[in-house]
A and B are shown apart, each in its own frame.
Chain A
């Protein structure tokens, strides 16, 4: 078993004291980030990137830190779902359905513990899936030429809105805007200045980390101000934990099913964590003969949580092997890889096996850390959750600006950050999704160079983009991803809304 020995080498990297320390710090920060409503995983990881960058951490350490943050955020998201009935991010929505009723019934501690166990199972199984699937996919992707890559990038954008996407044209528009921002600067292959208007600062292009922090963190602050949400929300008190082995065994099958479903949803383009947790929940509801779904059934907490975490790890498969992220947070992780000068994709597994397998092993370690953190220490996170946003958001904004400032010590970067914040606010008002913009900025240079490579090879013949079976397949999936949501999207959304509404009526 080649994979096994590589994984063991990975553990040798992940079990050094330094790596364990970063995994623990990441897990704590991540849980906090996930738990605080309105911060969200993409946001939190984005704020931490410039910090990891300016601290001069090694590639492996920063990646371990940030993947632990990512995993931790998925754990943390459930805390606010259960105690506040407010999902920390979208995939955590389904956990509200049974988690909050459980908390209201005075079983908040049990709900938190069960969801922690389910999260653990979800991540654990999905990480095993990642170990098995990633090398296979990476090997397969070695066959991709420039025209296949171009089709793959197109597919990533087309499916980004997901099956539940509302307006495909807005996703397309966002992608175009992001790609357009990426074209600013000196063209690498010809040296021609594009859209710089002679400004020296624009020669190197627009830094996507600044854009990410601005679009996510600053616009969030503006929304908080507008909604007068500074006081926070009332949360349910946490009781003393009484969990028996029987309770755990009862939710195990639900967690396993949720984990597998979530992993599959995470790997597939366009499905994502939201669909993963939704499918896990509805399947569990149908599968279990009787139960009190919607009124605080523990299995209704376990299934979506396992699905959510499974999907989160599953989403790393396309990100690591193809360099094409499927969600906002993995896009932000990709941003970090690119700024560390590591290009993800099939070559990553050959050139940097230490890094890849170290990170994968660190995910196992981080997952154990998270389980340990989340069962006995959940009280601390709950306390922190009760700090009102009116104190927290300004401090988070400050930390975000310090991170941006410390990368190059220039006030200009901060002006850009605020500018992107205002842009993000306006875009969210007109309902233009932000993730495709980020993805466009990240993938733009790669996408353009693969197009140019393909066309240079064919001497300007555009049919090269469609002349292999593989690329035709990719284009077909891309087209389906663009068109299907227009047909299926309203149905799925209506179903999700109904699930939520029927829970409220009871």
Chain B
């Protein structure tokens, strides 16, 4: 199967066209037209990207296998967990957020529940104190703030 490269090549071709078109729409800079404007370099890039994506569509490489659907769902859950961590770091604080996300990740990577909780809690507490006291980079305390 050589689907991956074809699909990706097409996406990149669309990007190249959109990017190049967008570049031609730049407003003319103050001081009038010069021989090279802000659009020159981007237009060159869109041509290079266009050529290489056409090559990819015409002469695709064999596919690398995608993970089965269950794994892809799991990976998306992990990505969501990391985004949730990014969101939670300020409102609920670094330590709880990090403890939860590290425990979750190491559990998903195959550690037992108790061991992953131990890893999560110790690493987040350790890193928090390392950063706040030793390296003096303030991480938010969040809920633990009094």
> A455: nearest residue on chain B (CB-CB)?
B36
Closest to A426 in B: B8
Q: Do residues B139 and A402 form an inter-chain contact, with CB atoms below 8 A?
A: yes
Q: Chain B residues with Cβ under 8 A from A426's Cβ? A: 8
Mask of A386-397 contacts with B, CB within 8 angstroms, 1/0: 001111011101
CB closest chain-A residue, reference B87? A411
Within 8 Å CB of B35, what residues of A? Answer: 455-456, 459-460
Count A/B pairs, Cβ under 8 Å: 182
User: Within B25-69, which residues are at the interface with A (CB < 8 Å)?
Assistant: 26-27, 29-30, 34-38, 40-42, 45-46, 48-49, 51-53, 55-56, 61, 64, 66-67
Q: How far is the CB of A115 from chain B (nearest CB, A)?
A: 30
* B12 contact set on A, CB distance < 8 A: 173, 177
Roughly how many angstroms separate A448 CA and B85 CA in the complex, as a whole number? 37
Report if B17 contacts A (CB, 8 A). Answer: no
Q: Which residues of B contact A218 (CB under 8 A)?
A: 82
Assembled-state Cα–Cα distance A103/B127 (Å): 36
Task: For A393, list chain B residues within 8 Å (CB).
Answer: 105-106, 109
Interface size on B, residues (CB 8 A): 66
Across-interface contacts of A460 in B (CB, < 8 A):
34-36
Q: What does the 1/0 interface line of B82-101 toward A look like (CB < 8 Å)?
A: 11011101100010001001
B49 lies within 8 A of A398 (CB): no
CA–CA, A506 to B137, complex, Å?
A: 54
Query: Of the candidates B26, B36, B79, which one forms a contact with A422 in the assembled complex, judged by CB atoms under 8 Å apart?
Result: B79
Residues of B within 8 A of A389 (CB): 109
Give the chain A neighbours of B37 by CB distance below 8 A.
190, 192
Where chain B touches its partner, the secondary structure class is helix
Q: How far is the CB of B57 from chain A (nearest CB, A)?
A: 11
Task: Answer whether residue A155 sits at the interface, using C-beta atoms and an 8 A cutoff.
Answer: no
The 8 A CB mask of A211-247 against B (1 = contact, 0 = none) is 0000000100110111010110000000000000000
Within 8 A of B (CB), among A176-202: 176-177, 179-180, 183, 187, 189-192, 194-195
Taken together as a complex, chains A and B put the C-alpha atoms of A201 and B9 apart, in Å, by: 29
| B122 (CB) vs chain A CBs: closest residue | A395
Q: Is the interface of A mostly helix, strand, loop or mixed?
A: helix
Q: Which of A120-128, A255-263, A413-421 contacts B (4 or more CB under 8 A)?
A: A413-421
* Chain A residues, CB < 8 A from B123: 394-395, 398
Give the interface segment out of A164-172, A313-321, A493-501.
Answer: A164-172
Known: A394-B105, A455-B35. A172 touches B86 (CB 8 A): no
- Closest A residue to B76 by beta carbon equals A422
Give Cα A224–Cα B22 distance, bound, in whole angstroms.
38
Q: Kindly state the separation between the CA atoms of A391 and B16 in the bound complex, as whole angstroms.
A: 41
A55 at the interface (CB under 8 A from B): yes
A452 touches B127 (CB 8 A): no
- B137 contacts A406, C-beta separation under 8 Å: yes
Q: Please report B residues at the A interface, Cβ cutoff 8 Å.
A: 4-5, 8, 12, 16, 19, 22-23, 26-27, 29-30, 34-38, 40-42, 45-46, 48-49, 51-53, 55-56, 61, 64, 66-67, 71, 74-75, 78-79, 82-83, 85-87, 89-90, 94, 98, 101-102, 105-106, 108-111, 115-116, 119-120, 123-124, 127, 131, 135, 137, 139
12 contacts between A and B (CB under 8 A): A51-B135, A169-B51, A173-B56, A180-B49, A189-B38, A192-B27, A195-B19, A230-B111, A393-B105, A394-B123, A402-B98, A417-B86
